């Protein structure tokens, strides 16, 4: 019995992963929560539209716009037509499970609207089955080269030490887990075809690869990997041609199958728009001359190696592949830099609301090979190396599980992380205002215009004052606004930035002082008769309307303001409504403000 167990480590690892995911579903009551979230409403729309409402043009929305308002995303295009933005591949892949959910809803008397939990749970089970199939295939591929223990460890890490876990559970209706699994199947069947020449493998590869492209069109670039794999495996172009020649007919049929499946999207575009090709990313595009490769890989915002450090072992293993699997080595050496370049060239290179770099999940099947190679190298070395490697791997798994929990509870921000926020919140288990204050949104408008991100500096702010307005945020994370119902008193009480009450113009003087004007008319003044409260009601600039800006940290937008007339620092009162007073002798948290530039040209008075 022990021999059987020892020989089947990799199979038991798959069972462990599945049990872990099922446990997570019940522990966090995921099966009772809405999973049609983030971009999923767009990927999922095809299913209820086709099978329940029978209308892929989405005209059925008009019958109950309130119900569908947060469930269906679409573009309003020419002629008043509606167009689903994202590809249909995920809906195609999950359609059998959706129909099972529809039948379940009918039997149980649940709402047959396509969105009740009968449907969501059925397709979530479908995602788990796809994941199981993907792990089954990647295990079969890896076990040819690596030991049971190495393969078992690789399978566990590729799920539990990465964001694949999240996109197999809470956001399973995003395309990444299914895409991961399909590419696992592609790798196995292509390898089997090269090794055996069996027709069924190339046909299965063609069908699965076509569906992969239908889910994620960028997957078409993987053809380059498979071409290199084939050429190196067969010993060059001429040898590959000799292998292909007797199978020419079946290869042509395979190409036709891939094209037919992949072209289903074009058929939808023709149906919905009247055009075979349609640019669905109307206001989004690649910026090929400005790839964000370093941030994509190493930034604390979303960097691959920051949030999935387990792939450090893949880098180690890549070098070993040159000796034992040159076909994989050369394929990876070409496809991964190309993939990273393309993905990091997308205008929203961090991919918005997401846990880690979600588009990279599609390529984890490829990365699992050098990952296994890296584990094989480190675990076979002298005791000192393995003594360090084993705890490190365990740490990476545990840390990913903890950070996934943090992300679920809002303790890792979905897009605004910074190095300071990362280390401040490294082990936090409760919301921390100081952590939140260290987050920094990415300026996507500047990115899409081809402009560099703003680097905070005194020079940047002083140059900006000449043409842009500004707004402030207090230490309590509320925005500073003028209250017209309280003599235009300033208070740090607004939950969000409201230009009408929060926009200020700053004027600089030769002596280094400034004045702050609200609404182009009233200057901020220190009202000494009201205990030095700040009011926006002065018509002219005198000593009571003069301030000094103190820049607290290089490369940051933390500042303090000091009143020239009182010599005191501006402080946010701790009690609501958090009125501002020029009354502090020293700078503490209450005197620390965030300064933001509104990069819209100031209107001419």
pLDDT digits (tens, 9 = 90+) for 536-563: 999 999 999 999 999 999 899 999 999 9
Assess if residue 448 is contained within a domain. Answer: no
Using the 3D structure, point to which of 367, 387, 408 is the last residue of a domain: 408
Using the 3D structure, point to which of 341, 374, 408 is the last residue of a domain: 408
Residues 211 and 90 in one domain: yes
Q: What is the band of 604 on the pLDDT scale with cuts at 50, 70, 90?
A: low
- Joined tokens for residue 553: 């940290």
Please name the helix (run of DSSP H) or strand (run of DSSP E) that holds residue 387, with its range, or none: helix 383-408
Does position 208 have pLDDT exceeding 90, yes or no?
yes
- What confidence score (pLDDT) does residue 1 get? 43
Which of 589, 421, 599, 584 is closest to 503 using CA atoms? 599
Does position 382 have pLDDT exceeding 80, yes or no?
no
Residues 387 and 481 in one domain: no
Does position 304 have pLDDT exceeding 70, yes or no?
yes
Cis peptide before 577 (omega within 30 of 0): yes
Q: Are 440 and 416 in contact (CB under 8 A)?
A: yes
Q: What is the band of 603 on the pLDDT scale with cuts at 50, 70, 90?
A: low
Q: What is the mean pLDDT of residues 80-84?
A: 93
Residues 473 and 401 in one domain: no
Measured CA to CA in angstroms, residue 563 lies from 174, 316, 525, 536, 551 at distances of 53, 58, 9, 14, 15
- What confidence score (pLDDT) does residue 297 get? 98
- What confidence score (pLDDT) does residue 519 get? 86
Residues 240 and 372 in one domain: yes
Q: Are 167 and 176 in contact (CB under 8 A)?
A: yes
Q: Which of 79-93, 164-178, 365-379, 591-605 has the lowest mean pLDDT?
A: 591-605
Cα 226 from Cα 203, distance rounded (Å): 15
Give pTM, 2 decimals.
0.92
Structural domain count, the chain: 2
Q: What is the band of 6 on the pLDDT scale with cuts at 50, 70, 90?
A: low
Q: Are 550 and 562 in contact (CB under 8 A)?
A: yes
Residues 107 and 243 in one domain: yes
Q: What is the mean pLDDT of residues 521-529?
A: 94
Assess if residue 447 is contained within a domain. Answer: no
Does position 4 have pLDDT exceeding 80, yes or no?
no
Q: Are 311 and 367 in contact (CB under 8 A)?
A: yes
Residues 144 and 64 in one domain: yes
Q: What is the mean pLDDT of residues 278-295?
A: 92
Which of 330, 318, 366, 327 is closest to 234 using CA atoms? 327
The proportion of the chain whose per-residue pLDDT surpasses 90, expressed as a percent, equals 88
Using the 3D structure, point to which of 376, 408, 440 is the last residue of a domain: 408
Residues 171 and 308 in one domain: yes
Residues 43 and 131 in one domain: yes
Residues 497 and 403 in one domain: no
Assess if residue 373 is contained within a domain. Answer: yes
Does position 480 have pLDDT exceeding 80, yes or no?
yes
Assess if residue 423 is contained within a domain. Answer: no
Assess if residue 289 is contained within a domain. Answer: yes
Assess if residue 443 is contained within a domain. Answer: no
- Joined tokens for residue 92: 């195609």
Q: Which domain holds residue 483?
A: 458-601
Cα 448 from Cα 437, distance rounded (Å): 26
Q: Distance between the two ends of the chain, CA-based, in angstroms?
A: 86
| Mean of the per-residue pLDDT values of the chain | 94
Residues 183 and 317 in one domain: yes
Assess if residue 280 is contained within a domain. Answer: no
- What confidence score (pLDDT) does residue 384 get? 63
Q: What is the CATH number of the domain that holds 584?
A: 2.80.10.50
Q: What is the mean pLDDT of residues 126-148?
A: 97
Residues 366 and 473 in one domain: no
Cα 315 from Cα 369, distance rounded (Å): 11
Residues 387 and 463 in one domain: no
Cα 104 from Cα 107, distance rounded (Å): 5
Assess if residue 264 is contained within a domain. Answer: yes
């Amino acid at each position: 019995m022990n021999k059987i167990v020892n020989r089947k480590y990799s199979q038991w690892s798959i069972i462990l992963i599945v049990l872990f995911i099922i446990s997570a579903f019940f522990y966090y009551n995921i099966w009772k929560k809405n999973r049609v979230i983030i971009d999923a409403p767009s990927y999922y729309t095809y299913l209820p539209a086709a099978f329940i409402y029978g209308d892929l043009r989405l005209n059925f929305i008009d019958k109950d716009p309130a119900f569908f308002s947060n469930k269906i995303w679409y573009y309003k295009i020419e002629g008043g037509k509606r167009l689903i933005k994202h590809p249909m591949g995920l809906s195609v892949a999950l359609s059998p499970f959706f129909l099972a959910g529809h039948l379940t809803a009918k039997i149980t008397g649940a709402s047959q609207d396509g969105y009740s939990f009968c449907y969501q749970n059925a397709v979530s089970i479908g995602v788990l089955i796809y994941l199981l199939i993907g792990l089954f295939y990647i295990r079969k591929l890896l076990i040819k080269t690596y030991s049971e223990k190495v393969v078992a460890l690789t399978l566990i890490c590729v799920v539990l030490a990465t964001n694949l876990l999240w996109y197999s559970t809470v956001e399973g209706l995003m395309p990444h887990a299914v895409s991961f699994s399909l590419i696992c199947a592609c790798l196995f069947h292509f390898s089997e075809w090269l090794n055996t020449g069996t027709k069924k493998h190339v046909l299965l590869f063609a069908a699965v690869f076509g569906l992969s492209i239908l889910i994620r069109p960028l997957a078409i670039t993987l053809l380059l990997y498979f071409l290199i794999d084939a050429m190196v495996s067969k010993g060059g172009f001429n040898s590959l041609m000799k292998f292909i020649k007797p199978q020419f007919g079946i290869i042509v049929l395979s190409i036709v199958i891939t094209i037919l499946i992949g072209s289903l999207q074009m058929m939808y575009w023709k149906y919905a728009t009247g055009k075979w090709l349609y640019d669905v990313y109307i206001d989004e595009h690649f910026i090929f001359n400005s790839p964000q490769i370093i941030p994509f890989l190493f930034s604390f915002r979303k960097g691959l190696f920051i949030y999935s450090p387990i792939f450090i072992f893949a880098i180690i293993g890549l070098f070993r592949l040159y000796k034992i699997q040159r076909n994989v080595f050369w394929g990876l050496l070409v496809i991964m830099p190309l993939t990273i370049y393309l993905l990091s060239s997308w205008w929203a290179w961090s991919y918005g609301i997401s846990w880690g770099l979600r588009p990279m999940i599609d390529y984890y099947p490829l990365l699992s090979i050098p990952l296994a190679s890296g584990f094989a190298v480190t675990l076979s070395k002298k005791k000192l190396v393995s003594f360090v490697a084993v705890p490190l791997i365990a740490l990476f798994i545990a840390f990913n599980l903890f950070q996934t929990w943090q992300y679920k509870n809002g303790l890792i921000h979905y897009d605004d992380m910074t190095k300071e926020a990362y280390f401040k919140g490294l082990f936090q288990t409760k919301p921390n205002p100081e952590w939140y204050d260290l987050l920094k949104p990415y300026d996507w408008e500047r990115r899409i215009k081809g402009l560099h991100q703003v680097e905070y500096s005194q020079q940047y702010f002083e140059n900006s004052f000449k043409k842009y307005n500004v707004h402030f945020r207090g230490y309590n994370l509320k925005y500073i606004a003028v209250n017209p119902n309280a003599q235009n008193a300033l208070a740090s009480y607004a939950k969000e930035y409201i230009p009408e009450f929060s926009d200020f113009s700053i004027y600089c003087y030769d002596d280094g002082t400034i004045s702050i004007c609200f609404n182009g008319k009233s200057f901020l003044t220190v009202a000494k008769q009201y205990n030095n409260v700040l009011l926006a009601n002065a018509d002219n600039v005198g000593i009571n309307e003069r301030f000094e800006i103190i820049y607290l940290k290089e490369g940051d937008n933390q500042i303090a303001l000091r009143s020239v007339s009182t010599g005191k620092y501006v402080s946010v009162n701790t009690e609501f409504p958090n009125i501002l007073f020029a009354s502090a002798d020293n700078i503490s948290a209450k005197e620390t403000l965030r300064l933001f530039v509104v990069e819209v040209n100031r209107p001419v008075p």
